[in-house]
Structure formats: structure tokens, C-alpha cells
Chain A
Amino acid sequence: MRHLSRHIPLLVTLLACAFLLIPIIQSILAGLTVNYFRGLSSGLTLKWIGQVWELYADSIFLSIKLALACLAGTLIIGVPAAYVLARNPGRATRMLEEFISLPLAIPGLALALALLQLFGSFHGFRTSWTFILVGHILYTLPFMVRSVVSVLAAIDLKTLEEGAASLGAGPARRFIDVVVPNAMPGILAGALTVVTLSIGEFNLTWMLHTPHLKTLPVGLADSYASMRLEVASAYTLVFFVMIVPLLMAMQWASARAQRIMK
């Protein structure tokens, strides 16, 4: 009995892994077999991937476009703001950070309802891809800001800036030549997080999208509801191929940024 109980943690770990991994393997297999219900004996095929490409290539390109635009937006809005937040720690700064972090705490559905009610009547904006972009920036901005702030807070920014100022560098020069290079590990980690989250975002996007603007996850939901299992699986496989390398790069960059901070 004692012997058995020693192995319970290992068993729980393996069962949890199996629970998470088995459906992933199933979806990979289902996306590549001729007939999933008859099993692998029906043969392997790329037919379903081809069909996904025909049906949903637009959604994949839209998601990539959104992710890149979202990255640009979070860089422009987030990096300068993170600099100010890191440079002036205090109560007001904390409250501002708290406020822009609200989209992490409030479910995407509620945020989307708020945006829809305010901007629903602005037709040109409501039906354009920039409406979805606003939602994505709103949701990913806190990740960029926090990532950059935590790196900048760990270095002695003040002394570095004073050094540059004594050599005659103005505020903008110092930002570009001192702050940004020092913040780079945080910017990189933040950028990979932003792109990964934007490509996978569903909760806001589902509410904000129009029938002509389907992102990858919206297309996935569509295929789960209306396509045969093989096509839905093949589409999911395409999504995995895009998101898993991004997730790994993001985890690597975050670990690197944390190492540099120590």
C-alpha cells in the first residue's frame, strides 16, 4: 500500500498529460485520415488540408494581418507608456497600470458588448477589420506594457539616462538610444505574446466580426459547427502548426527576459 501511494503523483501527472495530449493527437490523425470513423486503415490523405485551404485561406491571412497590425499598435501605444510607468513608480502609475489591465480581468464577451454598444452605429468602422483590431489591441496591450515595465524596472534607468543627458542627449534621443535597447528583451517577449494571443483570440472577435471578416478562430468555430470532423480536424491541425512554434518562442523569450532581469 505504502509502495503504491508513492507512485500516485507520477500517475496523476501522466493521466493529466494523457487528458491534454490524446485529443490533440486525435485531431492531428483525424485531419490526415481518409475516413476517421473507419480509422487509419482507410489511409492517409492531404485532401482535407487542401479543402481547408480552399475554404478558409482568407481567414488565415486575415488573422496574420490582424496579428501584425496588433503588434504595431501595441508597440506604438505600449512601449512609450511602459517607459513612463517604469520611470515614475508610484500610486498614480499603479492605478493607470491597473486600469489598462482591466481587459485581462473582464471577460472578452463583456468588453465586446461594451464596444458594440458604443460603436455599433458607426457603420464604416463597425464593418471594417479595424474594429476587430481595436479589440485585439485592447486585450493584448496589458501584456506588452507589463513585459516592458518589468524589464525596465529591473535596471537602473535613471542613472543610465542621467549619463546620456550629461552627454547632451535630449529626451527623445535617450528614449531611442538608451531606453529601447535596454527594454529589448521585454519588447521581444511582449511582441511574441501579443502575436500568439492575437492569432488565438476568439471571445472578443466572435462578437466583433462580420460575416465577411472571419479570423482563424472564428473560422474554426464555423467548421466545428458545420463541417465534417475530418475538415474541422485538418483546420485545427493548421492552427496548431501556426500556434505551437509561437507559444514555444514566447515561453523562450519570457524566460530569457526574466534571466536578464536577475
Chain B
Amino acid sequence: MTQRHFIFLCLLPLAIFTLAFLAIPLGRLILASRESEAGWGIYLQILQTPRYLSTLVQTVAVSLAVTVAALAISTTAGLFLVRNRFAGRNALLSILTLPLAFPGVVVGFMIILLGGRQGLVNQLLPGHWVFAYSIFGLFLGYLYFSIPRVLLTVMAAAEKIDPALEEAARTLGASPWRIVTDVLLPALAPALIAAGAIAFATAMGAFGTAFTLATDIDVLPMVIYTEFTLSANIAMASALSVVLGVVTWAMLLIARSFSGSAVAAGG
């Protein structure tokens, strides 16, 4: 067996699998989106139909809010954990990365335990505090799985910052706050953009969490799901899926051009 034959054999399983289960199905999905009367015009229809348009706006708004909140929280916590060594630091780090392996449905259940009818907040506070199924509950759910992802990206970048930069700033008389805004944040900027793009893409496509919490809220994955299963509007479900896929893919392309690798999984 020659080297060329062997390389061909090595790539054969991958070629068969990705052709049959990735390339052709995605092609089929794109073609299916124009199988309504509107043809390719269905993509225009998304923008012209108030329900789809408001869904898009709402999904982008929640995802942006989650991205900003996760960046603020995880950058603060990440910088703190990189710059301080203390007893219990590893325990805090473990807690903050634990949700990485949780499926979106479990994250949804966590929010129900906090803000559902039998939830913690409703038990502790007088009055009726049920927020799990509101847009705020969805925001908290997305935040729950975004914090660990952003934290890991920020910490990996923060560990590479040369401590000499900070020392130089300090000897020149910069206040701790000036060090953060003038030294640390600029050095972290690429990682923050990458982490933000990952958080945004993951929130946009999060189905499991929305499935548990967003029974009354129109976010893109839920609308795709109901169009497909309840309304049997295959063309619209396909078109919305294509839009969603293009947006999340573009976000991750941005993420990767700013940092080495990017993974948006789960939700």
C-alpha cells in the first residue's frame, strides 16, 4: 500500500460521513426554505411578518443583554481569580466552570428552582415572585451557561498578560482603576470580543433552555420548533434555521479571527 492510498483510506470514513450527514442535509435545508409559494422571497417575508420580525428583535436583544452581562461578570471574576491566589480559589473556579457540561434543559430547570412557583425566591420573599417563565428568567438561564464559557476565554487571555506592564503602570503612579482601563482591558480586548461573540452565538441558538422556560416567549429557536412541529410550515422553519445558522456561524468566525479557537456548544 502506498502513502497516497493510505491517506485516501484515512479520509474515506470522514468523507462519506460528512457528505451524507452534513453537506447534503444542509443543502437540502437551504433548498427546502424556498419550497413555499414565496420561493426565495421567504427571506423577505421574515422581515415583513410582524411576528417573525419581533421574534428576531427579541432574540437579538436578549442575546445582547446576556453578552454584556456575562462579559462584565466573567471579566471581573476572571481577572480576580487570575491575579489572586488564596485558599478556596480552586473551589470557586470549579463552581464557575461546572455548568459547562449541563444541557440547556438542565439550565432551565436550575432557573425554575430559583424563580419558579416552588422556587427559592418565591419561598423567601413575601408576595408572588415567579419570574422563571418571563423574559428575565430566560435572560438568567442564558447568563447561567454563558458565565463559564466567557470566564474560561478571559482567564486564558489574562494569564498571558505580562505582569511587567502592570508594574510599569503602577510605578508611573497609575491608580488601580487606571491600570484596569488603560492596561488590562486593552490587552484583553481581542479575548473579550471573541468571548462576547461566543456568548452571543450560543444565546441566539439556545434551544434547550428556551424549551424549558420560554413557553410563552417568542425566541428564534422556539419559533422554528413550533413552525416545524405544530404548524408544519417546513419552508419557514427551514428559512429561519438558515438565518439562525448563518448568524451564529458568522459570529463564531468573528470570534476565531480575534482568538485562536472558539467553541459554542450546548445551550
Interface residues of A (CB under 8 A from B): 6, 8-10, 12-14, 16-17, 19-24, 26-27, 30, 36-37, 76-78, 80-81, 83-84, 87-88, 99-100, 102-111, 113-115, 117-119, 134, 137-139, 141, 143, 146, 170-172, 175, 196-197, 200-203, 206, 217, 220-221, 224, 229, 232-233, 236, 239, 243-244, 246-247, 250-251
Closest CB pairs A-B (n = 8): A107-B205, A171-B6, A80-B10, A114-B25, A23-B110, A110-B241, A9-B80, A114-B29
Whether the pair A104, B212 counts as a contact (CB closer than 8 A) is: no
CB contact between A196 and one of B101, B221, B241 (< 8 Å): that residue = B101
Closest Cβ neighbor of B261 among chain A residues: A146
A114–B244 Cα gap in the complex (Å)?
Answer: 13
Whether the pair B266, A200 counts as a contact (CB closer than 8 A) is: yes
Contact residues on B (Cβ < 8 Å of other chain), bracket: 35 or more
- B210-267, CB < 8 A from A: 211-212, 221, 224-225, 228, 234, 237-238, 241-242, 244-245, 248-249, 252-253, 261, 263-267
A137-B21, A175-B10, A247-B98 known; 19 other A-B pairs, CB under 8 Å?
A: A6-B176, A10-B80, A17-B95, A20-B99, A26-B120, A104-B252, A105-B253, A107-B241, A113-B224, A113-B237, A172-B1, A175-B6, A202-B105, A203-B104, A203-B207, A206-B211, A217-B103, A224-B105, A224-B108
Whether the pair A115, B21 counts as a contact (CB closer than 8 A) is: yes
Q: A109-B205, A109-B241 are in contact. Are A22 and B212 (CB under 8 A)?
A: no
- B107-150, CB < 8 A from A: 108-114, 118, 120, 143-144, 147-148
Q: A20-B144, A23-B114 are in contact. Are A137 and B95 (CB under 8 A)?
A: no
- B1-59, CB < 8 A from A: 1-3, 5-7, 9-11, 13-14, 17-18, 21-26, 28-29, 32
B234 partner residues in chain A, CB cutoff 8 A: 117
A17 partner residues in chain B, CB cutoff 8 A: 92, 95-96
26 A–B contacts, CB within 8 A, in A order: A9-B77, A19-B147, A26-B120, A36-B118, A81-B10, A84-B11, A107-B248, A109-B224, A109-B241, A110-B244, A113-B29, A113-B241, A117-B25, A117-B29, A118-B28, A141-B17, A171-B1, A171-B2, A217-B103, A220-B106, A221-B212, A224-B105, A243-B102, A246-B101, A247-B98, A247-B101
Whether the pair B106, A217 counts as a contact (CB closer than 8 A) is: yes
A117–B3 Cα gap in the complex (Å)?
Answer: 39
A37 partner residues in chain B, CB cutoff 8 A: 118
A27–B144 Cα gap in the complex (Å)?
Answer: 15
Tell me if A's interface is mostly helix, strand, loop or mixed. Answer: helix
CB distance from A194 to the nearest CB of B (A): 12
B248 partner residues in chain A, CB cutoff 8 A: 105-107
CB contact between A236 and one of B92, B106, B118, B237 (< 8 Å): that residue = B106
A76–B79 Cα gap in the complex (Å)?
Answer: 41
Q: A9-B77, A115-B21 are in contact. Are A244 and B10 (CB under 8 A)?
A: no
B238 partner residues in chain A, CB cutoff 8 A: 113, 117
- B82-105, CB < 8 A from A: 92, 95-105
A175 partner residues in chain B, CB cutoff 8 A: 6, 10
CB distance from B107 to the nearest CB of A (A): 9
Interface residues of B (CB under 8 A from A): 1-3, 5-7, 9-11, 13-14, 17-18, 21-26, 28-29, 32, 73-74, 76-77, 79-81, 92, 95-106, 108-114, 118, 120, 143-144, 147-148, 176, 201, 204-208, 211-212, 221, 224-225, 228, 234, 237-238, 241-242, 244-245, 248-249, 252-253, 261, 263-267
A21 partner residues in chain B, CB cutoff 8 A: 95, 98
A247 partner residues in chain B, CB cutoff 8 A: 98, 100-101
CB contact between A83 and one of B10, B105, B252, B261 (< 8 Å): that residue = B10
B14 partner residues in chain A, CB cutoff 8 A: 77-78, 80-81, 100
Q: A8-B76, A23-B110, A117-B234 are in contact. Are A107 and B10 (CB under 8 A)?
A: no
A196–B13 Cα gap in the complex (Å)?
Answer: 23
A179–B205 Cα gap in the complex (Å)?
Answer: 37
Q: A105-B264, A244-B98 are in contact. Are A221 and B211 (CB under 8 A)?
A: yes
Whether the pair A27, B113 counts as a contact (CB closer than 8 A) is: yes
A104–B104 Cα gap in the complex (Å)?
Answer: 15
A30–B245 Cα gap in the complex (Å)?
Answer: 38
A27–B263 Cα gap in the complex (Å)?
Answer: 28
Whether the pair B208, A80 counts as a contact (CB closer than 8 A) is: no
B26 partner residues in chain A, CB cutoff 8 A: 102, 106, 111, 114
Whether the pair B76, A9 counts as a contact (CB closer than 8 A) is: yes
B102 partner residues in chain A, CB cutoff 8 A: 200, 243
CB distance from A100 to the nearest CB of B (A): 6
A246–B208 Cα gap in the complex (Å)?
Answer: 21
Q: A30-B113, A114-B26, A244-B101 are in contact. Are A107 and B245 (CB under 8 A)?
A: yes
